[in-house]
Amino acid sequence: MKIRKPFKIIAFDADDTLWINEPHYGEVEHQVENLLKQYLDAPDLKEQLYAREKVNLKLFGYGAKGFVLSLIETAIELTDSKISAADIHQIISWGKDMLTRPIEVLEGVENVLHELEEDYALMLLTKGDLFDQESKLARSNLARYFTHVEIVSEKNEQVYQGILDRYGIAASDLLMVGNSLRSDILPMVEIGVTAIHIPYHTTWVHELVNSKEAEKTSYLEFEQISKVLDWVRS
Q: What is the pLDDT of residues 1-13, one digit of tens each?
A: 355 678 999 999 9
The three-state secondary structure class of 161 is helix
Per residue in 180-213, is it b (16+ CB within 10 Å) or e — as a string? bbbbbbbbbbeeebbbbbbebeebbeebeeeeee
Instruction: State how far the alpha carbon of 14 is from the alpha carbons of 69, 142, 166, 212, 229, in Å.
Output: 23, 10, 21, 26, 17
pTM metric for this prediction: 0.89
pLDDT at 207: 64
pLDDT at 1: 38
pLDDT at 214: 56
Positions of the chain with pLDDT lower than 70, given as ranges: 1-4, 203-217
Q: How many helices (H) and strands (E) does the chain have?
A: 10, 6
Angstrom distance (rounded) from CA 148 to CA 176: 13
Q: Are strands 174-178 and 148-152 parallel, antiparallel or unpaired?
A: unpaired
What sign for the dihedral angle of Cα 200, 201, 202, 203?
A: positive
| pLDDT tens per residue, range 22-41 | 999 999 999 999 999 999 88
Angstrom distance (rounded) from CA 175 to CA 222: 14
The three-state secondary structure class of 231 is helix
Angstrom distance (rounded) from CA 216 to CA 68: 36
Instruction: State how far the alpha carbon of 123 is from the alpha carbons of 105, 114, 140, 203, in Å.
Output: 17, 13, 15, 23
pLDDT at 79: 94
Angstrom distance (rounded) from CA 206 to CA 67: 13
DSSP states of 174-207:
EEEEES-IIIIIHHHHHTT-EEEE---S---GGG
Angstrom distance (rounded) from CA 33 to CA 47: 12
Beta strand segments in the chain, E: 9-12, 121-127, 148-152, 174-178, 194-197, 220-221
